[in-house]
Structure 1
Amino acid sequence: MREQASYALLANQIDDALKLAQENWQQQRETADIVLYATAALKANSKKDIEIVRQFIADTQFEYPALERDLRLGKISDCLHCQATHEQNASQMARTANSPTDTSGEQTQNKDESL
């Protein structure tokens, strides 16, 4: 059902996606399932389903900062994993840029400079 709901979301069949995600949620509760359910609920603007996801997070102390942020903002990222990776990379780059010395042994080059 997860795959069917994902396909329905991709095909912009939001009502079908939400129904499939709801049914899937009754049988499976893995990370991919909560992300799918939350995505469908937010895209369908289903306050009831959004509340179910929020309650699950509160009851189980499930931690997924990007999902929790999107639930607070009432939106969902098209690629939560891509966004999390992007944020980690940006954070790492900021730490490296602020570091007085680089001991990693990596060589860097300004992208504006020619090779």
Structure 2
Amino acid sequence: MQYSGLHNYCKSKKGCQHEFKTEWGVDRYMLSGKMFAMIGGDKAGKPIITLKGSPMENLALRENFSDIIPGYYMNKEHWNSIYLEGHVPDDLIKKMIDASYHLVFSGLSKKLQKEIETSS
């Protein structure tokens, strides 16, 4: 999947806040200050997206796709990184973005959830 498509897809999520973290060279996508996606590169500069997921689903994805690895510089149980030049289908990446967003959203207070849902 192309970077611009990922960027636009992440930014389209309701309540998404985007920042470029210069010192890390990554784009971060957050919901109420909690990150749900990060696009950057590994130590060799290969482009990756890092997403939150449930531990069981994360393991299953890693077993089925060699281009999905434990979260790069993240908690290896709760985060996966996907090589963007690899062989992970675009629709699966979008589903993983959706799941990551919903995990973060569901961890917010009901008040914050309602504010995000009713924002335009």
TM range (shorter): under 0.3
- Higher Cα radius of gyration: 1
Name the structure where helix makes up a greater proportion of residues: 1
Point out which structure has higher relative CO (alpha carbons under 8 A, 6+ apart). 2
TM-score by length of 1: 0.24
